[in-house]
């Protein structure tokens, strides 16, 4: 299975503008640029997209692991906070923190924590980010 995404950029680094698109069309020519990345300007940025991908991947993985443990979530909400820092001559994603709240009728807290840790370790995006510090707060709500 392969999924695709594309980006186009026009102009210099600071004054340029770009657009990002995905195979499914969910993102189609979504604007991105320096203002969205470093100054809270309009548009999206790569770190926000990595966070969305990680939150989505982890949440689906948690649903799978919970099901294997005999639990079905009423809801799972995950926020991914991506940290971008200057490292040496450039920038690096130095960490991602997953903040997870799940509503699971009759859930066992210890089994939930085990499931959350397994999902964090084994979702494909976590694996792709090997070497990045990934932390998590997971709670039943």
Q: Give the CATH number for residue 129.
A: 3.30.300.20
**32 and 53 part of one domain:** no
Averaged pLDDT for residues 119-140: 96
Q: Which residues contact 105 (CB under 8 A, 6 or more apart)?
A: 74
Domain that holds residue 79: 46-140
Nearest-angstrom CA–CA distance, 71 and 93: 33
pLDDT of residue 40: 84
Length of the chain: 141
**25 and 66 part of one domain:** no
**62 and 103 part of one domain:** yes
**17 and 84 part of one domain:** no
The residue behind tokens 């926000």 is 48
Please count the structural domains in the chain: 2
Predicted TM-score (pTM) of this structure:
0.93
**69 and 99 part of one domain:** yes
Q: For 40-97, write each residue's pLDDT tens digit.
A: 888 999 999 999 999 999 999 999 999 999 999 999 999 999 999 999 999 999 999 9
């Amino acid at each position: 299975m392969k999924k695709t995404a594309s980006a186009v950029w026009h102009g210099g680094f600071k004054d340029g503008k770009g657009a990002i698109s995905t195979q499914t069309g969910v993102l189609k020519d979504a604007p991105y640029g320096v203002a969205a990345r470093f100054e809270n300007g309009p548009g999206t940025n790569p770190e926000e997209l990595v966070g969305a991908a990680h939150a989505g991947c982890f949440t689906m993985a948690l649903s799978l692991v919970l099901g294997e443990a005999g639990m079905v979530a009423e809801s799972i909400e995950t926020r991914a906070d991506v940290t971008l820092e200057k490292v040496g001559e450039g920038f690096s994603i130095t960490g991602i923190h997953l903040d997870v709240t799940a509503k699971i009728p009759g859930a066992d807290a210890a089994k939930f924590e085990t499931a959350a840790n397994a999902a964090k370790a084994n979702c494909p995006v976590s694996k792709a980010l090997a070497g990045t510090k990934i932390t998590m707060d997971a709670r039943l709500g």
